[in-house]
């Protein structure tokens, strides 16, 4: 993988966590269900919308841990008396994850009309300049 060569540069020290983030992002990109949108709402605000038709609020879980947003849906498979001529609406559970930058916070989640909206915000980064004193040996 070419990415690991980049992170093995002697000029990039302490970026092991960045390599792990890139690997998690690549894994998350391979997920295809449920479909989703990521919307830039301006002013450092982001909205992720997932199509979760048929899921009730108590069947959905949104968590954020170690800069990873995880959305999971758990639903019992309909094993009732239903007899389908065509079944195009998925009834399976899912887990979709997004790797987030430092400082992104979750403002909330809303379920409406089969769409789960997760609102995120990224406050303006503060520039930090640190002056390092130079000592003389001796």
40 plus 73 within the same structural domain: yes
> In whole numbers, what is the pLDDT of the chain averaged over residues?
83
Structure tokens at 4: 């690991």
Residue 2: the pLDDT is 44
Residue 17: the pLDDT is 65
Residue 28: the pLDDT is 64
65 plus 1 within the same structural domain: no
39 plus 24 within the same structural domain: no
Given a cut of 60, is residue 107 above it in pLDDT? Answer: yes
41 plus 95 within the same structural domain: yes
Residue 63 lies in a domain: yes
**Nearest by Cα to 44 from 99, 96, 103, 115:** 103
* Residue 118 DSSP class: E
Residue 11: the pLDDT is 67
Neighbours of 17 (CB within 10 A): 10
Higher pLDDT, 81 or 93: 93
Q: How many domains, the chain?
A: 2
CATH number for position 55: 2.60.40.790
55 plus 102 within the same structural domain: yes
Per-residue model confidence as pLDDT tens digits over 63-91: 998 888 999 999 876 566 678 898 887 77
Residue 118: the pLDDT is 97
pTM score: 0.69
Residue 56 lies in a domain: yes
Per-residue model confidence as pLDDT tens digits over 26-39: 776 667 789 999 99
Helices (H) and strands (E) in the chain, counts: 2, 7
Residue 129 lies in a domain: no
Residue 1: the pLDDT is 44
Residue 73 lies in a domain: yes
Residue 105 lies in a domain: yes
Answer yes or no: are the C-beta atoms of 62 and 71 closer than 8 Å.
Answer: yes
Identify the domain containing residue 75 by its residue range: 32-121
Q: How far is it, in rounded angstroms, from Cα 68 to Cα 65?
A: 5
Q: Where are the alpha helices (DSSP H) in the chain?
A: 2-7, 16-29
């Amino acid at each position: 993988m070419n990415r690991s060569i980049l992170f093995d540069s002697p000029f990039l020290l302490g970026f092991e966590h960045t390599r792990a983030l890139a690997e998690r992002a690549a894994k998350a990109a391979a997920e295809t269900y449920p479909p989703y949108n990521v919307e830039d709402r301006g002013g450092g605000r982001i909205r992720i919308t997932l199509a979760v038709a048929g899921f009730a609020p108590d069947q959905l879980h949104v968590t954020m841990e170690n800069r990873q947003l995880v959305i999971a849906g758990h639903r019992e498979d309909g094993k009732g008396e239903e007899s389908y001529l065509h079944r195009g609406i998925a009834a399976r559970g899912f887990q979709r994850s997004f790797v987030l930058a430092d400082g992104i916070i979750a403002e909330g989640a809303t379920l409406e009309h089969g769409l789960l909206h997760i609102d995120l915000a990224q406050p303006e980064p503060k520039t930090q300049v640190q002056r390092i004193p130079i000592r003389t040996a001796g």
